[in-house]
Amino acid sequence: MRDRKIKKLIKREQTRQNKTLNLIASENFVSGDILNALGSVFVNKYAEGYPGARYYSGTEVADELEELVQARALRLFQLSSKKWNVNVQPYSGSPANLAILLALVPRGNLPAGRQGKIMGMRLDMGGHLTHGYKASVTGKLWRQIPYVLDPKTELLDYDEILKLAKKEKPKLIIAGGSAYSKVIDFKKFREIADAVEAILLVDMSHFAGLVTGGAYPSPFPHAHVVMTTTHKTLRGPRAALIFSKKELSKNIDRMVFPGIQGGPHMNAIAAVGVALYEASLPSFKKYAKQVVKNTYILAEELKKLGWRIISGGTNTHLFNVDTFKNSISGNEAADLLEKAGIVVNIEAIPYDLRPPKDPSGIRLGAAALTTRGMKEKEMRLIAQIIDKILRKQIKEVKEVIQKLCAQFPIGE
Ligand SMILES: *Cc1c(COP(=O)(O)O)cnc(C)c1O
């Protein structure tokens, strides 16, 4: 690379990634093959439109690529192309959700009633910005009817969600989030959606990799639309997929392009194809199961050491810790951990009284460390390390962290 400055930054970032323990639940490490596909000549190609109906010439290879990736996506989640359609063009999860909502939920100055209402998990409960939060454009174009967790158990209360749906009659209900640590009951969500004739969108961005790996139930038997990012537990490049029942797909496709996007990022689509291939290998099933095991051990060990875990624990790839219960704010905890060589993100806890910029907790996940090859033994050690750091004994653990990093290098 002739650009010395960028080259140096890439090198430094590589070193940073290698020398930190990454517990950020939404991050992962992609394979060298995925990096190659992302950096391939597909980056040069404009292919506005869809296979067979493009606005540019020279798209015969791009067409074949996009069709292959579509077929792989359907196959990976065991979907029949007679019932389901998949759009592989979304640049990322946020535009994908925006396209789905624009396609399926009326907005604007509509008469009172169900129109324009979307039901999503409130942000401090573990929901995502794009599920109708006020600061997101989705909260400005539509009215969010937020559902919450039970204040005592911090679990989804499906009876309460049903009551709320019956009262508000939303046009669309979103199941899924960014920080809910327990498996979601999609069947119950579908019953709720059916009771008010709403569309059920499952946003499986976080747990898609667990679904393909058989470590989380599939939402497909119950959902009308399923969105996923490809870069979290699915371990691919930054992009997204929208699966929809055939009767809804035309509107969704039209809203992705030309509605909100221009030319698809064919290099990203190629890399998604590689990720889907990798996720179809038997080793990925093992990986997904190990992620859940590792996360469980990490949470249980932290509990034993006196840390309060939101929702009582985890059976997924992530969980949140109420650090403020032990008098440490989320920011303070994240800063202490980063100083020692562990990266996490700050996270609101249900009914948080502290501001979103310095909430009461942190979110932890084991997907990235599991990709590095770590197992239960390392998780137990990391729980002890985290406990020491948060009790301000940073010096004692820095070396242990570096040893762990060196022992489990990031492949390519
Ligand atoms: C990450 C995430 C998104 C958004 O994805 P980006 O690629 O960051 O735009 C949407 N929904 C959920 C539930 C997510 O976790």
Does position 112 have pLDDT exceeding 80, yes or no?
A: no
Phi and psi, residue 383, nearest 5°: -60, -45
Question: What's the 384 CA to ligand 1 centre distance in angstroms?
Answer: 30
Does residue 191 share a domain with residue 159?
yes
Question: pLDDT tens-digit profile of 307-359?
Answer: 999 999 999 999 999 999 999 999 999 999 999 999 999 999 999 999 999 99
CATH number at 315 reads 3.90.1150.10
Does residue 175 share a domain with residue 126?
yes
| Tokens matching residue 271 | 């890399």
Q: Classify strands 199-203 and 172-175 as parallel, antiparallel or unpaired.
A: parallel
At 31, the amino acid letter reads S
Does residue 166 share a domain with residue 305?
no
Does residue 290 share a domain with residue 275?
no
Does the annotation count 380 as an active-site position?
no
Does position 254 have pLDDT exceeding 70, yes or no?
A: yes
Q: Is 16 within a domain?
A: no
Q: Is the CB of 361 under 6 A from ligand 1?
A: no
Q: Give the dihedral of Cα atoms 64, 65, 69, 75; nearest 10 deg.
A: 40
Q: Is the CB of 178 under 6 A from ligand 1?
A: yes
Count the alpha carbons within 13 Å of 144 in the hemisphere toward its beta carbon: 22
CATH number at 234 reads 3.40.640.10
Q: Is the CB of 130 under 6 A from ligand 1?
A: yes
Question: What's the 295 CA to ligand 1 centre distance in angstroms?
Answer: 20
Does the annotation count 64 as an active-site position?
no
Q: Which of 244, 279, 314 is the last residue of a domain?
A: 279
Q: Work out the average pLDDT over 54-65.
A: 97
Does residue 191 share a domain with residue 73?
yes
Catalytic residue among 46, 91, 158, 277: 46
| Tokens matching residue 28 | 């992962």
Q: What pLDDT, on the 0 to 100 scale, is given for residue 412?
A: 63
Does residue 160 share a domain with residue 304?
no
Which residue puts its alpha carbon closest to atom 4 of ligand 1? 93
Does the annotation count 159 as an active-site position?
no
Does position 114 have pLDDT exceeding 60, yes or no?
A: no
**What CA–CA distance (Å, rounded) separates 224 from 213?**
22
Does the annotation count 232 as an active-site position?
yes
Q: Classify strands 53-54 and 117-121 as parallel, antiparallel or unpaired.
A: unpaired
Catalytic residue among 238, 375, 388, 398: 238
Which residue puts its alpha carbon closest to atom 15 of ligand 1? 178
Does the CA dihedral 123-290-322-147 come out positive or negative? positive
Q: Is 26 within a domain?
A: no
Q: Is 204 within a domain?
A: yes
Q: Is the CB of 316 under 6 A from ligand 1?
A: no
Domain count, the chain: 2
Q: What pLDDT, on the 0 to 100 scale, is given for residue 163?
A: 98
Q: Work out the average pLDDT over 281-303.
A: 98
Q: What pLDDT, on the 0 to 100 scale, is given for residue 65?
A: 98
| Tokens matching residue 33 | 């093959």
Does the annotation count 293 as an active-site position?
no
Q: Which of 218, 246, 279 is the last residue of a domain?
A: 279
Does residue 182 share a domain with residue 163?
yes
Q: Is 61 within a domain?
A: yes
Does residue 159 share a domain with residue 127?
yes
Q: Is the CB of 94 under 6 A from ligand 1?
A: yes
Q: Which range marks the domain in which residue 79 is found?
A: 34-279
Question: pLDDT tens-digit profile of 352-387?
Answer: 999 999 999 999 999 999 999 999 999 999 999 999
Does residue 203 share a domain with residue 81?
yes
Does residue 189 share a domain with residue 81?
yes
Q: Is the CB of 132 under 6 A from ligand 1?
A: no
Q: Is 239 within a domain?
A: yes
Q: Is 68 within a domain?
A: yes
Q: Is the CB of 70 under 6 A from ligand 1?
A: no
Which residue puts its alpha carbon closest to atom 13 of ligand 1? 177
| Tokens matching residue 94 | 């946020």
Q: Which of 279, 302, 320 is the last residue of a domain?
A: 279
Does residue 361 share a domain with residue 225?
no
Q: Is 7 within a domain?
A: no
DSSP H or E run through 398: helix 394-407
Which residue puts its alpha carbon closest to atom 6 of ligand 1? 93
Does position 138 have pLDDT exceeding 60, yes or no?
A: yes
Q: Give the residue, out of 121, 205, 232, with the most ligand 1 atoms within 8 A of its beta carbon, to mutate for a pocket test.
A: 205
Q: What pLDDT, on the 0 to 100 scale, is given for residue 107?
A: 81
Does position 108 have pLDDT exceeding 70, yes or no?
A: no
Q: What pLDDT, on the 0 to 100 scale, is given for residue 110?
A: 63
Does residue 260 share a domain with residue 116?
yes
Count the alpha carbons within 13 Å of 61 in the hemisphere toward its beta carbon: 10
Question: pLDDT tens-digit profile of 25-47?
Answer: 999 999 999 999 999 999 999 99
Does the annotation count 287 as an active-site position?
no
For residue 119, list its beta bridge partners: 145, 173
Question: What's the 239 CA to ligand 1 centre distance in angstroms?
Answer: 10
Does position 50 have pLDDT exceeding 70, yes or no?
A: yes
Q: Is 11 within a domain?
A: no
Q: Is the CB of 139 under 6 A from ligand 1?
A: no
